[in-house]
A and B are shown apart, each in its own frame.
Chain A
Amino acid sequence: MDAQAGEIVLLSLRVSGVALFFSSLLGIPAGVLLGLNRFPGKRLAVILIYTGMGFPPVVIGLLVYFLLSQRSPLAGLPFLPDLFTPEAMILAQIILAFPLVAGFTMTAIQAVDPALRLQVMALGATRAQAALSILREARNGVIAAIVAGFGGIISEVGAVMMVGGNIAGRTRVLTTAIVLETRQGNFEAALSLSLILLGMAFVVNALLFILQDRWQND
């Protein structure tokens, strides 16, 4: 059980960690773009992101399941992972976390004094330098966006269950293991896994908070 639990914890961290990395890689620039610019279609993009922020994980799971299934119009594309693999779970979690990271980054960028952009341009910033400076000003909110993205995926069970299948030793993560143990009446095991999950969330969020705090005191 202990070695198994260790495996489960590591897989949870890997799946959600990699998913968080990629959704931040895509979501932060998307949030900056939406926060700084006006362009046709922006309203629609924002509405879609807001909708995505509250999307039920099972629905995303279903969507990714369909996308990766044999009947998918995309079936056979080389870069798509197989169903019931960690990679499929990562893909689902990227889709879940992306709107959270992008949406909260956008509001953080919008909270920066709009006069700042022109003032840094007047000091000789290029457009890219100005965007980076504004992102730096919004750093607290950007970390909050990452925290929200992490919270949204580390605790979800619907999507990973659907596309991962909760296969022991392959795709079983903390949340799906908790569901299984509870169903089988192993409340103690379920409880200890829950405590591990809580502890993990605490540690990760503590690290992000320390980062935020240190930046703030710059």
Chain B
Amino acid sequence: MDILYRVEGLQQIYQNRTVLDVPELDIYRGEILAVVGPSGAGKSTLLRLLAFLESPARGQILFENYPFTPLTAEMPLSLRRRVTMVFQRPVLLHDSVRANVMYGLRLRGERDHHSRVEQALREVGMDRMAHVRARTLSGGEIQRTALARAIVLQPEVLLLDEPTANLDPYNVRLIEDLIQRLNRQYGMTLVIVTHNVFQARRLAHRTALLLDGKLIEVRDTHTFFESPGDARTRAFIHGEWVC
């Protein structure tokens, strides 16, 4: 399989504390990789690094052999724009839902995006709220709008941080179906961070466990859940406290 990201000796350090330490991890083009782990394990930090939003303290990320290292001031815009991330706590612009979805296209100077915007709104079930002002939205509506403004860009890589954390079961299903469709139809590579091991099991080709900043295990999802190689993985998927 085609390796898109190659993570080597990656460490992130905040205020003298190593919060992420991943000696190696490959992410394949076209896969759905789930990252699970308890709160504070470093999942969001890993996503920010994969989105090239902050430089690592040590090690590097190779994106199609292009290195992202502690010395990289900024990744080239053309590379950075192939990756889009939806944050755990999305912040929308004080504007309409539609304007928020158009935002990334406008940044790229694209016109004639009407049908793409409408489609993205439909996919997340926000088409009837296109005119609503973002500041009046509920938590779940904010989350879905944030997803729409990311998928409208049709990125090669979509990094999702707890994409269904605020959603009701109907909308969880809507978004999970959408994630699978993006992956199957467009071959989009997705990295999904979730607390929810069942969601990882439903969606991901491979699943990784992060504990206290360390990558404990990454395997194809079936093996990860049926016969994990590490006792801590077994404990985590059975809902036990692990540390």
Contacts and interface: CB of A to CB of B under 8 A. Distances in A.
A115 B87 contact: yes
Interface in A119-157: 119-127, 129, 133, 136-137
Interface stretch (B76-84, B177-185, B207-215, B233-241): B76-84
Interface stretch (B16-24, B60-68, B100-108, B224-232): B100-108
Given A133-B93, A137-B94, A122 B149 contact: no
B132 interface: no
Interface in B107-154: 107-108, 149-150, 153
A211 interface: no
B186 to A, nearest CB: 17
A2 interface: no
Nearest to A139: B94
Contact of B91 (A115, A125, A136, A218): A115
Q: Give the interface SS of chain A, mostly helix, strand, loop or mixed.
A: helix
A126 to B, nearest CB: 6
Using C-beta atoms within 8 Å of the partner chain, give the interface range for chain A.
10 to 19
Contacts of B104: 123-124
A119 B87 contact: yes
A122 B85 contact: yes
A113 interface: yes
A118 B85 CA distance: 10
B81 A124 contact: yes
B54 to A, nearest CB: 8
A123 B107 contact: yes
A116 interface: yes
A129 B90 CA distance: 19
Contacts of B86: 122
B198 to A, nearest CB: 27
A119 B44 CA distance: 13
A218 B77 CA distance: 29
Contacts of A124: 77, 80-81, 84, 104, 107-108, 153
Interface string B20-44: 0000000000000000000000000
| Ranked 10 nearest A-B pairs via Cβ | A123-B104, A122-B85, A124-B81, A116-B91, A113-B91, A115-B91, A124-B107, A125-B107, A122-B51, A118-B53
Interface of B: 48, 51, 53, 74, 77, 80-81, 84-87, 89-91, 93-96, 99, 103-104, 107-108, 149-150, 153
13 contacts: A118-B48, A119-B87, A122-B51, A122-B84, A122-B85, A122-B87, A123-B149, A124-B108, A124-B153, A127-B74, A133-B93, A133-B103, A136-B93
